[in-house]
Amino acid sequence: MNQDNALDDFANLQSSLIRGNFENSLKGVIQEVFTVSEALTSEKVNNNINVQNHCYFLRKNSKKTKFEYTRIAQIMVRNLCHYVIPRSEIDQVRDEMNKPNADISGYYDLLKKAKKKFIDYFPKSESDTKSGEGGELLLFLLAEEILGLPQAITKMKLKTSNNVHYHGLDGVHLGLNQDKSKLILYYGESKVYKSRSQAVSECLTSLKKMLLDEEDDEDLDLLTSYFDLGDNQSELIAKLKIFFNPLRFENNQLTETQALCLVAFDESSYDDKMSEEEVAKSIQNQLTSWFNHLKITVGNNNLATFHMNVFFVPLPCVKKFRNAFRDELNS
């Protein structure tokens, strides 16, 4: 089998695997809910470690009276099916809906099916909600629509109960290196905590286990069994599965593992009396210390050799973020 052909085939397919169009979807939501500025996005690689930093922060509502959670929750729930349901199932429903006089109930059935996979689907009191699933879904959106990395496994689909989290990584995405000579496995981890330092520490501790423990290959096993590229891609899937076989040459020579991290946390810079520009400046003044702490924590976890994309998402209140997602999920 020609491995170069498999990589070329994936390169030709990769962009079509991204379910949301950034210009029409997440970018619009970011403009309404988060804001991104060149000053707040570090495009440089940190000294001594291979990390790409990104930072997004919450914007105010349309009346500029308070910082808004509802819109980001809405766009997250709007993308539930893409996150939870395998492409093949979505393709089947889409094909049915494209028929003349089609019954559109299939879409709503999929959405309900997707909602039922979440711990937050069944109503709980505000004090009882500490699920990190909103962060996992947000990481999925950032990886697909901003970095252009399609999800490789719909792990939420494998849950047998909405009362528990799935085990292992929070996400697995695929991509190619710059010259398209290697297939990149992106291991994703998300933490939504009050404390930024705790979120960073817990996120990297989880990734350390997955990236450095050679005995922990559960997610790789899942990838070979539930690799999701949609209908009509069985031949390419068969080719790419060879890359994930640890006993094959391709696994060591033509693949690479990288990391995706999302750390969402409480940030005291937010004040409803402040303008967005003032909040942005306050956060910007803290980025160097955030990145330096990240660099130290990466080193302490022996992860300096791994390339990472790290998304910092400071929030006025992570509890309100969780509650907004829960409320929208149950609406």
Residues 215-237: pLDDT tens digits? 556 777 777 778 888 877 888 88
- The DSSP output letter for 69 is -
pTM for this predicted structure: 0.90
Token digits of residue 112: 């309900």
CA distance 32 to 28: 6
Q: What is the pLDDT of residue 95?
A: 84
Residues with Cβ within 8 Å of residue 253, at least 6 apart in sequence:
none
Q: What pLDDT, on the 0 to 100 scale, is given for residue 127?
A: 46
Q: Is there a contact between 188 and 138 (Cβ–Cβ < 8 Å)?
A: no
Give the span between the Cα atoms of 210 and 205, in whole angstroms.
9
Which pLDDT belongs to residue 58?
A: 81
pLDDT in tens, the chain (331 residues): 456 688 899 899 898 888 766 555 555 445 434 544 545 555 555 666 889 888 888 877 878 888 888 888 998 999 999 999 999 899 888 888 888 877 778 888 999 999 999 988 875 555 445 678 999 999 999 999 889 999 998 888 777 666 666 667 899 999 999 888 899 999 999 999 999 999 999 999 999 988 887 655 677 777 777 888 887 788 888 888 888 877 776 667 888 999 999 999 999 888 888 888 888 888 888 988 999 999 999 999 999 999 999 999 999 999 999 999 999 999 8
